[in-house]
Amino acid sequence: MYKKAALFIAIFAITAYTSTAQTTYLQLNQEDYHVLDRLETRSGQLSDDLFLSVKPTQRKGAVSFLQQQRRESRISGLSKIDRYNLDHAISVSGEWALEQNGALDSKRPILKSFYKKQPDMIYVNNDNFFFSANPIITAHGLYEQNNGTLFSSSRGLEARGLVAKRVGFYTMFTDNQETMPSYAAQWTDSADAVPGNDFYTRKGGGKYDYLMARGYIDFAVVKDHINVTFGYDKHFIGDGIRSLFLSDFSAGATFLRLNTRVWKFNYQNLYMELQPQYVRGADRELPHKYATMHHLSINATKWLNVGIFEGVIFDRRDRYEFSYMNPIILYRQVERSLGSPDNVVLGLNFKAIAAKHLQFYGQLLLDEFTSKELIAGNGYWANKFAIQVGGKYFDAFTVKNLDLQGEINIVRPYTYTHFDSTANYTHYNQPLAHPLGASFAEVLGVVRYQPVKNLFITLKGMYYNKGVDTGGVNYGGNIFKDYDTRPSGYGVKLINGVKVQCAMVNLNLSYELRENIFFDLGAVHRRYVYETGVLPAQTTTFLYGGFRLNFNRREYDFF
């Protein structure tokens, strides 16, 4: 095993030395993703530079697409706000512009050295070296009915760069404190996990204190075609609000990623070191589990993209199973050859654009499946699958920059679970895919409106039915439980166990004062009800406001 590991490291080092034309990636949840998605659909044609179903997206490919759209903006009928967003998105990744210095100049640099370019406090760009760095600062106050005043704040730094046209890198670090709305704090205490993060401490007054760090290095094995990335970060596979394959809900993870882009194909291999569920306690070395995933995406026509996904989660007592390192093999076959000890899932996804205003997308995930039992309609427990369908409407009802999105997610009980609870589809006490786990049906809706270039109005709605466990019985909604603890093999309904209903709505207004400085104001209302009345209903309303610099707004619309 150690010889294989040494060989792999040697190959990786040689790759780093001989590589050229590396890149960096847009961080997840940046507004630029909506700009790219919108402009691609409005162009009426899928781009071979983007493949937005797999995120994070290369800055190089994004800028190439955006510059093409800028050249065609008059023909495609883009609005003034679209053209502003387009120029802004190019400026944010200006090192990849054709002129190699595409970041917009600042009108008033600070001390002639800082903010010479609008997006970046520190900006250096010459033939052999590019570097940009920015501070991260956020401060938000919340007032929750019956819970008083809450807050969240972050302070840190992010930086990215390119060295000698051989190595690309990104790093980010923040120190964070927050007091959460009551339902989010209840989930956090129950799961022993702050949503989206790893280790944390809880202090007096319900305050959660944690560090957040991300970072990677990137090499191009074959220029413009094959990139190798090693780091600690998150990923997202899909075109929806949620992902049934791999989402950014859980904590970051150590990963090695191979991304191959040829013609109309994008093929990604992802190798990750994960953290199995654990009970918080004294400091100690925590065990690991591992995951290997691959996703092949094809622009089958100018308007249709289809994808094939496969993933496996496995536990090998802190060692990687090298049988899963093969980048082009079927993991299900490997898993069976090893004695079928691991958790393998398969998936299909699609995205289609129409009439330069509409986009349709979906995912189908199969965990286990028996067609005979499905046709019989007897509620066989091992028919474990998940379905997503959704659509987007850009410039809805001919209103410029009014965008609508609707999505349905359905996940059968016991999906993502395994007979070995270590190999379930989770990481650091959080689901790897959908935050709700399994045994639910969910409807989501988002309205986005940008009436002027600096004002972003978002209205989000969520409603779901979910089955929960009572009396210690495993009804299949909790994906951390061993599926062998189920009470029966048949009669398993889609919403199994005691049903709960949850409805949430969030109105948010964000104003960009200057580049990447946002002021936020919004309100959230949530109601959570047990249909049988076994526990009291939970109703909460809270208002929030604050500012953020170079960071995303903290949201609590997961559950």
Percent of the chain, pLDDT > 90?
74
How high does pLDDT run on average in the chain?
91
Judged by phi (left if over 0) then psi (alpha if -120 to 50, else beta), residue 491 lies in left
pLDDT for residue 20 is more than 60 = no
Q: Are 443 and 502 in contact (CB under 8 A)?
A: no
Residue type (1 letter), 288 = H
Give the confidence band of 7 by pLDDT, cuts at 50, 70, 90.
very low
Residues 504-550: tens digit of each pLDDT: 999 999 999 988 999 999 999 999 999 888 888 999 999 999 999 99
Question: Whole-model pTM?
Answer: 0.94
pLDDT at 532: 82
Estimate to the nearest angstrom the gap between the alpha carbon of 10 and the chain centroid: 31
220: β partners: 227
pLDDT for residue 215 is more than 80 = yes
Question: What phi, psi does 258 have (nearest 5°)?
Answer: -115, 120
Which residue has better confidence, 168 or 317? 168
Give the confidence band of 18 by pLDDT, cuts at 50, 70, 90.
low
Strand pairing class (440-449; 207-222): unpaired
Q: How far apart are CA 343 and CA 424, in angstroms?
A: 7
Closest CA to 219 of 8, 17, 6: 17
Mean pLDDT value across residues 174-192: 95
Residues 459-510: tens digit of each pLDDT: 999 999 999 998 889 999 999 999 999 999 999 999 999 999 999 999 999 9
pLDDT for residue 220 is more than 70 = yes
Please enumerate in sequence order all residues whose Cβ is within 8 A of that of 11, keeping only pairs 6 or more positions apart, or say none: none
pLDDT at 74: 67
Which residue has better confidence, 286 or 149? 149
Q: Determine the length of the chain.
A: 559
Q: Are 293 and 83 in contact (CB under 8 A)?
A: no
Q: How far apart are CA 58 and CA 52, in angstroms?
A: 10
Burial class (CB in 10 A: 0-12, 13-18, 19+), 345: buried
Q: Give kind and range of the element (H or E) at residue 267.
A: strand 265-274
Domains belonging to the chain, first-starting first, are 2-549 (2.40.160.130)
Mean pLDDT value across residues 272-292: 87
Count other Cβ atoms within 10 Å, centred on residue 280. 11
pLDDT for residue 219 is more than 70 = yes
Which of helix, strand or coil describes residue 481? coil
Residue type (1 letter), 521 = L
pLDDT for residue 258 is more than 70 = yes
pLDDT at 111: 76
Measured at the CA of 233, the angle between CA 520 and CA 440, to 5 degrees, comes to 70
Q: How far apart are CA 276 and CA 293, in angstroms?
A: 17
Count other Cβ atoms within 10 Å, centred on residue 203. 11
Mean pLDDT value across residues 306-325: 88
> Which of these ranges, 158-172, 237-251, 279-293, 350-364, has the smallest mean pLDDT?
279-293
149-158: long-range contacts (C-beta < 8 A, 24 or more apart)?
150/178, 150/179, 150/180, 150/181, 150/542, 151/177, 151/178, 151/179, 152/176, 152/177, 152/178, 152/179, 152/546, 152/554, 153/177, 153/178, 154/212, 154/551, 156/212, 157/133, 158/133, 158/134, 158/550
Q: How far apart are CA 446 and CA 306, in angstroms?
A: 24
pLDDT for residue 11 is more than 60 = no
